[in-house]
Homo-oligomer: A and B are copies of this chain.
Amino acid sequence: MSGTTLDDYTDRYAGRMRGMTVSEVRALFAMASRPEIVSLAGGSPFVSALPLDEIADLTAALIRDRGAEALQYGTGQGDLRLRELVCEVMAVEGVIGSAEDVVITVGSQQGLDLIAHLFLDPGDVVLAEGPSYVGALGTFAAAEAEVVHVPMDASGLIPTSLDETLRRLAAEGRRVKFLYTVPNFQNPTGVTLTESRRDAVVELAEKYDLLIIEDNPYGLLGFEEGPGQALRARSSDRVIYLGSCSKMFGAGLRTGWVLAPPAVREKLVLVNESQVLSPAMLTQMIASEYLGKYPWREQLKVFREIYRERRDVMLDALSATMPSGITWTHPRGGFFVWATVGDGLDTKAMQPRALAHKVAYVPGIGFYADGMGRQNMRLCFSSASPDRIREGIRRLATVIEEETELRQVFNTPSAVRRGPHGGPASRTSFAPGPELA
Residues of A with Cβ closer than 8 Å to B?
A: 1-10, 12-17, 20-22, 44-45, 47-48, 50, 52-53, 55-57, 59-64, 67-76, 106-107, 109-110, 113, 117-121, 124, 135, 138-139, 142-143, 177-178, 206-209, 211, 237-238, 246, 249-255, 261-264, 266-267, 269-271, 273-283, 286, 431-435, 437
Contact = CB atoms under 8 A, between A and B. Distances in A.
A11 to B, nearest CB: 9
A110 B276 CA distance: 5
Given A56-B61, A60-B60, A252-B73, A277 B434 contact: yes
B67 A60 contact: no
A5 to B, nearest CB: 8
Given A106-B276, A263-B9, A50 B67 contact: yes
Contacts of A73: 44, 246, 251-252, 434-435, 437
Contact of A252 (B12, B72, B119, B267): B72
B254 A280 contact: yes
Contacts of A208: 1
A117 B53 contact: no
A63 B59 contact: yes
A22 B282 CA distance: 26
A106 B68 contact: no
A177 B52 contact: no
Contacts of A117: 14, 16, 142
26 contacts: A4-B209, A4-B238, A6-B263, A9-B261, A9-B263, A12-B211, A13-B267, A14-B124, A14-B143, A16-B117, A47-B71, A55-B63, A56-B64, A71-B250, A72-B250, A73-B251, A73-B437, A76-B433, A113-B274, A138-B274, A142-B271, A250-B282, A274-B431, A275-B275, A282-B286, A283-B283
A141 B72 CA distance: 26
Contacts of A262: 6
B261 A6 contact: yes
A99 to B, nearest CB: 17
Contact of A47 (B67, B124, B280): B67
Nearest to A435: B73
Given A274-B138, A277-B135, A431-B76, A209 B2 contact: yes
Contacts of A63: 52, 55-56, 59
B12 A119 contact: yes
B72 A64 contact: no
A23 to B, nearest CB: 9
Contacts of A135: 274, 277
A282 to B, nearest CB: 5
B277 A432 contact: yes
Q: Chain B CB within 10 Å — which of A68, A117, A275, A432 has the most?
A: A275
A73 B207 CA distance: 40
A363 B327 CA distance: 65
Contacts of A269: 431
Given A106-B106, A253-B282, A434-B75, A274 B64 contact: no
A35 to B, nearest CB: 15
A274 B71 contact: no
A7 B263 CA distance: 7
Nearest to A68: B48
Contacts of A211: 9, 12
Given A106-B276, A254-B279, 5 more contacts: A9-B263, A56-B59, A56-B61, A138-B273, A252-B282
